[in-house]
Amino acid sequence: MGKVVGFGDMLVRLSPPGYQRFLQAASFDVNYTGAEANVLVGLSNNGIDTEFVTRLPDNAISACAVSMLKRFSVGTSHIAYGGNRLGVFYCEKGASQRPSKIVYDRKYTAISEAKPTDFNWDNIFQGADWFHFTGITPALGEHLPQVVEEACQKAHAAGITISCDLNYRSALWSEEKAQSVMKNLMQYVDILIGNEEDACKVLGAVPGNTDVNSGKLDYSGYVSIAEQLINTYHFKKVAFSLRESISASDNNWSAMLFSDGKCFQSKKYSIHLIDRVGGGDSFAAGLIYGLMKAFDPQTVIEYATAAACLKQTMEMDFNLSTEDEIFRLMGGDSSGRIQR
């Protein structure tokens, strides 16, 4: 059914057990993760052939990360090795009115020092049908905007579909720097993915009467944004995940897909969150899966939204939902009753 290549960072996630605060923790739970890696795990779990491209230090901790990817059948044959550090982030899960907190430690990592000569994109893209990257990757190092652009150029020339999740991270770069880099990369992108803030901060598109801190969204504003972006960058499709944050424990979750001049809006889910990290990545994976399977547009956005809903009921960053489980939720089975 096709092969998806993802390019990005791999990190160690260290989390206090349960809902402990950093100050309380005497130990950390360990996980290996990364935005593009999360997408590929979600796709691989649904039967898609995948390949993860990154640069890692050649040490035992990187071997653990690679082993985790292999466990979920993600390809690792084009990982470049060099440098001394694997990035780390610390995640303190919030609850109720106390927000989650993330602290990054990702300077001087192996991928931040990556150069164009580390990757042979002609070889990497052999047999590939889809290339996915996020706005995190070009923010990580001096040469990475060039590396990402070269990958996009090769993929575009080979007729490979290119998707980008904007994924703005203020800890990595300013809005001004993000826009200067990402606006240039948009010329290669076929499928644009974002959330309620990304389009504004990365591409300068204003969403109208929306305040993400109030938990209220103006849906009509996103129709306007999608039209602006498609007219400017000629994307084939634009998809937005839409999160209404009631508290750190409870969110409303929905999404929109803009395709062929029409807007397709998903149903809305009320989620009692277990772990929201990776929710956007699972949305991207569901969207890519639906498009690769040639679902109709309404089914595509319903599938992506339901997939991301289920992920946020799971610990850690990977979405381990099956296609059957996702379709079951789409069909209205949201009771959570035990299955025997």
Q: What is the pLDDT of residues 205-252, one digit of tens each?
A: 876 555 544 556 677 778 888 888 999 999 999 999 999 999 999 999
Give all strands (DSSP E) within the chain, no chain letters. 3-7, 11-15, 29-33, 49-53, 55-56, 80-81, 87-92, 101-105, 130-134, 161-165, 191-194, 237-245, 250-259, 262-265, 269-272
- Among 113, 139, 159, the domain boundary falls at 113
Domain span including residue 93: 9-34+55-113
Residues 123 and 22 in one domain: no
Count of the separate structural domains present in the chain: 2
- Confidence at residue 222, expressed as pLDDT on a 0 to 100 scale: 82
The per-residue pLDDT of the chain, averaged, comes to 93
Decide which of 113, 128, 152 is a domain's last residue: 113
The pLDDT of 250-276, averaged and rounded, is 94
Q: How high is the pLDDT of residue 208? A: 57
**Interval 11-60: pLDDT, tens:** 999 999 999 999 999 999 999 999 999 999 999 999 999 999 999 999 99
Cβ atoms of 124 and 5 closer than 8 Å = yes
Q: How far apart are CA 326 and CA 45, in angstroms?
A: 12
Exposure b/e, 251-279, CB count within 10 A at least 16 = b: bbbbbbbbbeeebbbbbebebebebbbbb
pTM of the model: 0.94
Q: What are phi and psi of 217, to 5 degrees?
A: -125, 140
Q: Which of 113, 134, 149 is the last residue of a domain?
A: 113
In this predicted model, what pLDDT tens digit does every residue of 80-136 receive, in sequence order?
999 999 999 999 999 999 999 999 999 999 999 999 999 999 999 999 999 999 999
